Structure 1
Amino acid sequence: MDFGHDTLVWFSKSFGLFYLIALSIITVVYAYWPSNKNVFDRAANSVLHKEDGP
């Protein structure tokens, strides 16, 4: 089966689009997963607690 240049370009653009959409959805689900709230809160507050002062 011989693939032309246009077919390969269409496939790579389509695959890349669906790959990035899936990666974005996975990232958002991970960020808003309820069990990760404590980890993110601790990370956000750890920067404030380690300041030595001016």
Structure 2
Amino acid sequence: MDLNAIASFLRSFWTVWLMLLFVGVLFWALRPKNKDKFDEASRIPFGDEGQEK
């Protein structure tokens, strides 16, 4: 096994790894179970805490 064969194998493995990671993050973000958590987090910038006059 030479260096070019190893590099080719690792390049293809890297592509598979990134694809699995992307699909995993997409699945996690679009699960209905996480909707309430994301809705709550989306309202954080509009909160009145910490703005004293």
Q: TM-score range by the shorter chain?
A: 0.7 to 0.9
Equivalent residue pairs, number: 52
Using structure 1 for the length normalisation, give the TM-score.
0.85
> 5+ unaligned residues in a row in structure 2: which ranges?
none
Which residue of structure 2 lines up, in the alignment, with residue 40 of structure 1?
38
Deviation at 1:46, TM superposition (A): 1.8
For the residue of structure 2 that corresponds to 1:52, the secondary structure is coil
Which residue of structure 2 lines up, in the alignment, with residue 25 of structure 1?
23
Seq. identity, %: 24
C-alpha distance in structure 2 between counterparts of 1:43 and 1:51, whole Å: 16
Which residue of structure 1 lines up, in the alignment, with residue 12 of structure 2?
14
For the residue of structure 1 that corresponds to 2:35, the secondary structure is helix
Using structure 2 for the length normalisation, give the TM-score.
0.86
Deviation at 1:18, TM superposition (A): 0.1
